[in-house]
Structure formats: C-alpha cells, structure tokens
Amino acid sequence: MIRCGTDIVEIDRIKAAVTGVTGFFDKVFADCEIEYFRQNGKRYEILAGFYAAKEAFSKYLQTGIRGFSLRDVSVDHEPSGAPFIRFFGEKQEVSLSISHNKTTAIATVCGKSFVGVDKDTAKKMSGLLPVRKSGGNKGDFGRITVVAGSKGMTGAAVLSAYSALRTGSGLVTLLTAESERAIAAAYRAEIMTGGLSCENGIITADAAERVIEFANKSDAVVFGPGLGQSDGVFEVLSRLIREYDGNLVIDADGLNALSKNPEILKDKSCKIILTPHPGEMSRLAKKTIEGIQNDRKNCAEQFAAEYDVTIVLKGEGTVVTAPGEESYINETGNVGMATAGSGDVLSGMIASLAGQGLGAFDAAALGVYLHGLAGDIAADEKTVYGVVAGDIAEKVPDAFKLILFE
C-alpha cells in the first residue's frame, strides 16, 4: 500500500518570513538546508520547496506537526542532486519530489504504508497459504456453511459469511432463521442463503436436519455468530458436533450454547475450533475472567487438552493452541479492532482457511494473524477510532499482499 502527502507554498510568503521574522530561518530550516540555500544563490524558491516538503512529510505521517518541529524534518541531497527526507537525522524510505514556478513551490512525499510485518513470521505464515491451482473452479476452493443470525443480528451472520469469501472460499452459504433470511440475503449478492425453522426470530431444534444436510456438503462450518440463545440452538449444535465430520468453528452464541454442557465435545465426530473472548472462555472453563486473563496461555492449553480441540483465546496477544502443537501468540492487531463484529469476521476467515485444506491449528493461527494484519491496515487508513468490522473484512486482500510480497 502507498501513502502520499502533498503541500504547496507561496515563495513570497517564505521570503517574507525569513527576512522579517526573527529566528524563523534557524528555527525552521536544518543546517544542511541552510547550507544548500547559501551555496545555490540564496534563491527563496529553494526554501519554499524545503518548507513544502516538510509539510508534505507531516501529511504523509498523518500527524501534522505534532511531537516534532519543522526543523526535525529536513531535505538533504544525494551526490546526484536528488532530494530526500531526513527525520531526526535518519534518512527515510520515502520518495520526494519538489517543483516550483515563479510564485509557488510544491512537494510530494510518497512511501509505503506504516503497517509492517515481522519478516520471519510473515514468511512462516505465507508458507501456510493454500495453493490456488491454475484451472481450479469455485468448488475447489472450499465450500463453507455459516449457521448464524437471528432477529436483529443478521449483520453478524453476513460479516462471517462475507469474510469467508474475502479469505478465498469458493462457495459460501448462510443458513439463518427463515424470518430473517430475506434481510440477510439483501446484504451481499455473493452469499447464498437458506432459511431455517425458527420461533421469534431464533432457530429451533427442528433446524438440525437442514443444518446437517448442508454441513455434510461443506468443507467447513461456522456456527454461532448472532444466533441468539435458546434450547433450540443448543440442540442443533449438539447434533452437529456428533454427526458432522468436517471442520467446525464455534463462535459467539455457539459458545454460549456450548457452555451449558462442554462435555458434548467429547462425543464429537468433527475437528473443532473454538474462538472465545475472555468472557466466553470464563463460561466454558468455569473460571473467572480475571483468572483467565492472568493465565491466558495455560487456561487455553488446559481446555484444549481436556477436550481435544483447537482454542483461539481472543484479545491482546490472542492465544492459538491445540494438543500436540506449540501455542502461537499473535502480535498483529490493534485496539481499533475492539468493535462489534470483529470476532464474526475472524470466525469466517478461520473457517475459510480450514475449508481450503489447512489443518485446524494452522487455519486458526493463519486466520488470527491475517485478521490482525487486516485490522492494522484498516487502522492505518482510518485510525483506531474509525475502524468497524466491515473495514477489517475489506482489508483482508491487502493483508494477503503484505505477506505474499514481503
């Protein structure tokens, strides 16, 4: 991703400041700039260009002149004469262009987005990416079923399904309460939808047959985002755990249902990935949230070992663990991702990767990493205050780019 900053300055304005404002010259311009100005005929268009470059660099940073002075940003020159930016004396990996006419000077600074990746981790994660075979069709890249949504909560369902598509799945079907199906279908044309028996906008136990029918044609299933809470949700989940033999990602209200009786996990026929936040983990493990947060890695590992599942314990430093695997502590992501729907996006991403052939642990680790990276890219563009869950889903392709071309 490329970021740019541009500024334009009136030459006479800079001349007036230099000649008429005490201390302006030495306060604004660095020694190398002053020397260049003096060696090149004391032409004020030079200083105007330098000033514009300083402002353009601050716009590139998206900070304005805060936390540093104009003098901390300086224009220096290569032996060839090409200008470049120094920031606190350090040469910056940005491109600088300065131009002027008789009245104005303009400068543009362009460079990479500030979202960076640890090269070793990026290389490891890129090695996990599913291969997209030439000539493949949509059926070759994972069929995903998302069981999600209830009255007033269709957004969670769509975010999960759409994120699966954005992560590479060829076919995604969203099964939701029949009363809400039309609403869900209106969000995205790419998502196929199906209705489930429901009462008051929440699926009933009778929905199990259709859920299992679709699941058996799928490479991975997401169960839970926005489903609501009822005995019917628990009954459908219980049957799915016992009768489905693919990859099952349980999230949100699926976890709330599971917390009624986690022992049903011991009767599973499928590979299960649980994606709890600390509150959900507290209900599953019957521990306090404080106890979970004070010992995140061990709590996740103990539960994963007891029930032979993959755990994604969300939060700062998300823990991904499974029996026989070295736990992965994620370093991507930011506080802007603490927003409604962010977890729904993650559930769809993990299911997508599992449906494309990754093992449960690898799908979870890669999904968490890419999810955080997409959130970092979104925050870089919109700030941590402005990120919403849909932004994370939209930035997944850019997250792929960062690790593919690092």
Using CA of residue 199, residue 202, residue 208, residue 212, what is the dihedral sign?
positive
Which residue type is seen at 89?
G
SS3 readout for 139-172: HHHCEEEEECCCCCCHHHHHHHHHHHHHCCCCEE
Cβ(174)–Cβ(194) below 8 Å: yes
Measured distance CA(370)–CA(349) in Å, rounded: 9
Please pick, among 27, 42, 59, 287, the residue that the annotation labels catalytic: 59
Q: Is 270 helix (H, G, I), strand (E, B) or coil?
A: coil
For residues 255, 261, 265, 267, the Cα torsion angle rounded to the nearest 10 degrees is -140
Number of CB atoms found within 10 A of residue 83's CB: 17
> Is 100 annotated in the active site?
yes
Bridge partner list, 114: none
Q: In what order do the strands lie in the sheet with 143-147?
A: 192-196, 171-177, 143-147, 220-223, 247-250, 271-274, 310-313, 319-321, 328-329
Measured distance CA(33)–CA(41) in Å, rounded: 13
Please pick, among 100, 277, 314, 395, the residue that the annotation labels catalytic: 100
Give Dmax (Cα) for the chain.
86
Q: Tell me, rounded to whole angstroms, the distance of Cα 293 from its chain centroid.
A: 22
Q: H-helix or E-strand containing 390?
A: helix 389-394
Contacts of 46 (CB under 8 A, 6+ apart): 36, 37, 40
> Is 59 annotated in the active site?
yes
Cβ(1)–Cβ(115) below 8 Å: yes
Of residues 91, 86, 11, the one with CA closest to residue 46: 11
Q: Tell me, rounded to whole angstroms, the distance of Cα 208 from its chain centroid.
A: 32
The residues annotated as belonging to the active site are 59, 100
